[in-house]
Chains A and B, each alone.
Chain A
């Protein structure tokens, strides 16, 4: 079983819609959770991190964490074509090692 699971997509949404990206993880001891965005041919860049159960909002992005269900999600409101990228979920077990999902490709159609 992989440490972090994501649907590879592609997930297609129209411009202006809400995109919902999901991630599950296997280690119940995981402490912190991260979402990275990666444009084609570029390196991953951090969008958000979340440590506690519940929601965390930053502009158009909301991260949601449910530790009981071992589930993390990222919502992107008012999706724009520039949001089209691969989104990587990462989980940290507090030993300074991150485990990454294989990513979900998001396409936002104008």
Chain B
């Protein structure tokens, strides 16, 4: 068990509000990732981190920002939520033989 938890598990928010999702890991992994999963698109990388304060953009980063002030926490922020950001968000950590995913956050923007 990679000890990766996401919070919240479910959230409904209004268009235009800021939203922060949290990913927490307990095993000191260097690499952490945020993906979104939508029908027909599979998993798409939003942002990733390769160390404290070291982050980079993925393929669908517009409208999202991230922060990693501690090894164990990787935060994803939607600055001003839009309906197109309704999705399931997965955090992942990189281990020697692939990714391990958190349980996901289902976000609905109304």
Interface residue ranges, A against B (CB under 8 Å) = 4, 8, 34, 36, 42-46, 49, 88, 90, 96-103
Scan B70-106; emit 1 where CB is below 8 A from any A CB, else 0.
0000000000000000000010001001111111100
Tally chain B residues at the interface, Cβ within 8 Å: 22
B103 in contact with A43 (CB, 8 Å): yes
Task: Pick out which of these stretches binds chain A: B13-21, B36-44, B60-68.
Answer: B36-44
Distance in angstroms from B78 CB to nearest chain A CB is 20
B97 in contact with A49 (CB, 8 Å): yes
Besides the contacts A90-B98, A97-B58, A101-B42, what 5 more A-B pairs have beta carbons closer than 8 Å? A4-B42, A43-B103, A49-B97, A96-B31, A102-B41
Q: What's the Cα separation between A16 and B41 when bound, in Å?
A: 30
Cβ contacts under 8 Å, B50 to chain A: 96
B101 in contact with A43 (CB, 8 Å): yes
Interface residue ranges, B against A (CB under 8 Å) = 31, 33, 35, 40-45, 48, 50, 58, 90, 94, 97-104
Cβ contacts under 8 Å, B99 to chain A: 34, 44, 46, 90, 98
Cβ contacts under 8 Å, B101 to chain A: 43-45
Contact of B102 among A43, A88, A97 (CB under 8 A): A43
Distance in angstroms from B100 CB to nearest chain A CB is 7
Distance in angstroms from B102 CB to nearest chain A CB is 6
Cβ contacts under 8 Å, A96 to chain B: 31, 48, 50, 94
Q: Which residue of A lies closest to B45 (CB)?
A: A97
Q: Which residue of A lies closest to B43 (CB)?
A: A100
